[in-house]
């Protein structure tokens, strides 16, 4: 799945971006600061979900799965194995740090 991000300004002056929320699929997504790792963080205006779109091209659904496993206490090396081919080892470790920052 490819995500194209194009900034645009709405009437209210809120920056909207063209991407889908990994939880509800909504497209009303706004920029919401950055993680400690320096990645752009986004928030869905429909369900309030925060998420990070990785520049490495990891699909939102993969990030969603990774987050669920992290929150379930799955060891990071196991997550790396499960997501093999979909997300790199360094991505999983970086993402884990992001999750801990945003909660």
Binding site for Zn ion (CB under 5 A): 21, 23-24, 26, 44, 46-47, 49
Closest listed residue to residue 41, CA positions, set 75, 5, 9? 5
Q: Which CB, 27 or 80, lies closer to Zn ion?
A: 27
Minimum CB–partner distance for residue 23 and Zn ion (Å): 5
47 vs 71, beta carbon nearer Zn ion: 47
**Residue closer to Zn ion, measured from CB, 49 or 86:** 49
Q: How far apart are CA 98 and CA 103, in angstroms?
A: 9
Taking CB atoms within 8 Å and a gap of at least 24, the contacts of 14-22 are 17/42, 19/53, 19/60, 20/60, 21/46, 21/47, 21/49, 21/51, 21/60, 22/49, 22/51, 22/60, 22/61, 22/63, 22/64
Least distance from Zn ion to the Cβ atom of residue 26, Å: 4
Query: Cβ of residue 64: shortest distance to Zn ion, in angstroms?
Result: 11
Minimum CB distance to Zn ion smaller for 26 or for 99: 26
**Minimal distance, residue 65 CB to Zn ion, in Å:** 16
């Amino acid at each position: 799945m490819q995500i194209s991000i194009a900034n645009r300004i709405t009437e209210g002056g809120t920056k909207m971006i063209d991407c889908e929320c990994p939880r509800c699929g909504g497209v009303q997504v706004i920029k919401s600061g950055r993680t400690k790792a320096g990645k752009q963080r986004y928030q869905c205006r429909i369900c309030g979900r925060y998420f990070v779109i990785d520049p490495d091209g990891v699909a939102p659904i993969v990030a969603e799965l990774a987050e669920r496993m992290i929150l379930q206490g799955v060891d990071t090396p196991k997550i790396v194995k499960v997501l093999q081919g979909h997300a790199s080892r360094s991505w999983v470790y970086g993402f884990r740090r992001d999750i801990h920052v945003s909660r």
